[in-house]
């Protein structure tokens, strides 16, 4: 038997690849990239639409424990935050400091089980005010990951400056891109993904 590499990709609708007619999203593209580069793995997509950091903290552990069994090279990729910064009734669904606390708890739980984590930051949507809130959250998440020694991939600014990403988001539902947008996001993550898998 070769290396039994198992990765749970946990997060929101962007992890699930909503809007991608190819039904891959960035998570599927990175899994395919690993296989193409000679690193077979089992990837579990655990993205759920509209979920916040609080929702994910409440569900992620039992879902991953069923898949990341003892004796495997077990890893976790996390990505969330856009739903936290979404306003409902004039306030963010999850306050900034609560979001950071949720991430810190989650990273601690992963560390207790010896699961290496790669965190991908939240992308922009077609809403300037929300993007400002998400950018602040992105910076806070980067601090949390640095404190925990977890690699953090910042994509928010690069995607805001990507004509392809923003065009596809506007052409879609205002939040999710199509296949070309997910291509751009996967390309941003890929170098960090390769480095993390090589550890």
What is the topology classification, in CATH, of domain 5-197? Answer: Rossmann fold (3.40.50)
What does residue 61 show for φ and ψ, rounded to 5 degrees?
Answer: -65, -50
Confidence at residue 40, expressed as pLDDT on a 0 to 100 scale:
94
pTM: 0.97
pLDDT in the model for residue 1: 53
- Give the total residue count for the chain: 199
Does 168 have pLDDT greater than 90? yes
pLDDT value of position 170 = 98
Answer yes or no: is pLDDT of 39 > 90: yes
- 3 pLDDT band, cuts 50/70/90, is confident
Residue-wise pLDDT for 45-74, tens only, equals: 999 999 999 999 999 999 999 999 999 999
User: For the chain, what are the domain ranges?
Assistant: 5-197
Q: What is the pLDDT of residues 73-89, one digit of tens each?
A: 999 999 999 999 999 99
The C-alpha angle 64, 112, 118, rounded to 5 degrees, equals 60
Q: Which residues contact 112 (CB under 8 A, 6 or more apart)?
A: none
Say if strands 152-153 and 117-120 run parallel, antiparallel, or are unpaired: parallel
Q: What is the pLDDT of residues 93-149, one digit of tens each?
A: 999 999 999 999 999 999 999 999 999 999 999 999 999 999 999 999 999 999 999
| Average pLDDT taken over every residue of the chain | 97
């Amino acid at each position: 038997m070769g290396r039994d590499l198992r990765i749970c990709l946990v997060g929101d609708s962007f992890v699930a690849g909503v809007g991608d007619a190819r039904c891959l999203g960035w998570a599927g593209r990175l899994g395919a990239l690993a296989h193409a580069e000679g690193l077979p793995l089992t990837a579990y997509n655990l993205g759920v639409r509209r979920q916040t950091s609080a929702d994910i903290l409440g569900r992620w552990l039992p879902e991953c424990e069923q898949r990341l069994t003892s004796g495997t090279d077990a890893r976790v990729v996390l990505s969330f935050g856009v739903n936290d910064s979404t306003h409902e009734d004039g306030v963010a669904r999850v306050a900034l400091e609560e979001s950071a606390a949720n991430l810190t708890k989650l990273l601690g739980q992963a560390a207790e089980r010896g699961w290496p984590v790669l965190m991908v930051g939240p992308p922009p949507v077609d809403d300037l005010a929300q993007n400002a809130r998400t950018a602040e959250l992105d910076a806070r998440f980067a601090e949390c990951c640095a404190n925990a020694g977890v690699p953090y991939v910042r994509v928010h600014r690069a995607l805001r400056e990507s004509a392809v990403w923003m065009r596809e988001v506007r052409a879609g539902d205002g939040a999710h891109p199509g296949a070309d947008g997910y291509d751009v996001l996967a390309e941003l993550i890929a170098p960090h993904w390769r480095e993390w898998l090589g550890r």
